[in-house]
């Protein structure tokens, strides 16, 4: 990632307003633990193109990773406003809504996401977490199985296997 950072900084020196360069810089900075730079480049994008919804998604996701779910929801809301047809926005916002205790909103978002993109294993993991919070363990276990069959473990690791071991007998 150090070489990628150096290359992207060279591209940034040529064109500091290229959205692709800025988005990639934010991702590489995240990998390198340069937290302040992540936000710097993402916010730079929305300063000159306030309609570029991928920046809002990434800002929301970064806030989500930091545990700032209320802020994450604000940015996911902005992204939905620009692209209401992106199922991954709803999936991400669903998780932050879950983490803020808004189970109804979380379920509405995840249902919409799954309807739009039924092959998203992460969405089934999110819905399983909502069902667990609602103490609907049979439904949670069904979604854990769906997450597994749609490739969650290969993409994201063993989290759903741990959930299965804990909640599904």
Q: How far apart are CA 38 and CA 22, in angstroms?
A: 9
Q: What is the pLDDT of residues 82-113, one digit of tens each?
A: 999 999 999 999 999 999 999 999 999 999 99
Instruction: Check residue 3 and give its pLDDT.
Output: 93
What is the mean predicted confidence (pLDDT) over 64-70? Answer: 95
For residue 155, name the pLDDT band (cuts at 50, 70, 90): confident
Within the chain, residue ranges assigned H as helices are 2-14, 19-31, 35-48, 53-65, 69-82, 87-99, 103-116, 121-133, 137-149, 152-156, 159-167
- The answer to whether 80 touches 94, Cβ cutoff 8 Å, is no
């Amino acid at each position: 990632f150090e070489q990628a950072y150096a290359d992207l900084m060279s591209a940034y020196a040529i064109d500091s307003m290229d959205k692709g360069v800025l988005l990639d810089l934010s991702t590489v900075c995240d990998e390198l633990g340069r937290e302040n730079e992540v936000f710097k480049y993402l916010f730079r994008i929305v300063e000159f193109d306030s309609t570029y919804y991928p920046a809002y998604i990434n800002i929301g996701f970064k806030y989500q990773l930091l545990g700032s779910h209320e802020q994450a929801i604000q940015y996911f809301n902005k992204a939905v406003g620009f692209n209401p047809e992106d199922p991954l926005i709803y999936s991400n916002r669903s998780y932050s809504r879950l983490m803020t205790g808004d189970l109804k909103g979380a379920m509405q978002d995840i249902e919409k996401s799954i309807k739009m993109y039924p092959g998203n294993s992460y969405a089934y993991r999110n819905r399983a977490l909502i069902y667990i919070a609602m103490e609907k363990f049979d439904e949670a276990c069904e979604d854990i199985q769906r997450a597994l069959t749609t490739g969650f473990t290969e993409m994201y690791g063993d989290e759903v296997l741990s959930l299965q071991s804990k909640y599904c007998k």
